[in-house]
Amino acid sequence: MSRSAEKVRVLLVDDEQQVREAVGLMLAEAGCEVVLAQNGIEALDRFRDWPQDVVITDLAMPGKDGFQTIRELKNLSPQVKIIAISGAAYSPCLSGGLDAARRLGADQVLAKPFSFRELTESLNVLLQVV
């Protein structure tokens, strides 16, 4: 991680509890301060209350999906860094979702499942410009 004096604040948004817990542990192990949300509605509320440096959001979620969440986050805070995550590689109906997320403003994209190394590399790329 490139941020020395203070912990990087990360908002992790995923409707699957197991994913939130596993990725949340990865982020904590990488030295991040992690806030969890189970959907886009909750994520936007948390972001408004306590803006984060990086938002990692799943794309397919009930209520408010990741595409809507990315669009609204960028409207609220154009400088926020976003990593879109999706199991699109395993779901033909979501193919192209990561590309669409990038067009909406995601700075990095990761296909699930991803490794700790892939996650930290994506964070490091984003934090070099923060």
Please give the residue range of the domain that contains residue 86.
Answer: 9-127
Report yes or no: 100 and 66 within 8 Å, Cβ to Cβ: no
What pLDDT, on a 0 to 100 scale, did the predictor assign at position 87? 83
For residues 94-103, average pLDDT: 80
Looking at the chain, list the stretches that DSSP marks H as alpha helix, in order from N- to C-terminal side: 17-29, 40-49, 66-76, 97-104, 116-127
Answer whether residue 2 shows pLDDT above 60: no
CA–CA separation, 59 vs 93, rounded Å? Answer: 12
Q: What is the pLDDT of residues 72-83, one digit of tens each?
A: 999 999 999 999
Q: What is the pLDDT of residues 8-37, one digit of tens each?
A: 999 999 999 999 999 999 999 989 999 999
Residue 112 main-chain phi, psi, to 5 deg: -80, 145
For residues 38-45, average pLDDT: 97
What CATH code is carried by the domain that includes residue 56? 3.40.50.2300
Which is more confident, 116 or 89? 116
Residue 19 main-chain phi, psi, to 5 deg: -65, -45
One-letter amino acid for residue 81 of the chain: K
No. of helices (H) and no. of strands (E), the chain: 5, 5
Beta bridge partners of 37: 13
Report the percent of the chain where pLDDT is more than 90.
75
What pLDDT, on a 0 to 100 scale, did the predictor assign at position 95? 52
What pLDDT, on a 0 to 100 scale, did the predictor assign at position 128? 85
Q: Which 3 state secondary structure label does DSSP give 108?
A: strand
Asked whether residue 76 is assigned to any structural domain, the reply reads: yes
Asked whether residue 22 is assigned to any structural domain, the reply reads: yes
CA–CA separation, 71 vs 48, rounded Å? Answer: 14
Model-level pTM?
0.90
Overall domain count for the chain: 1
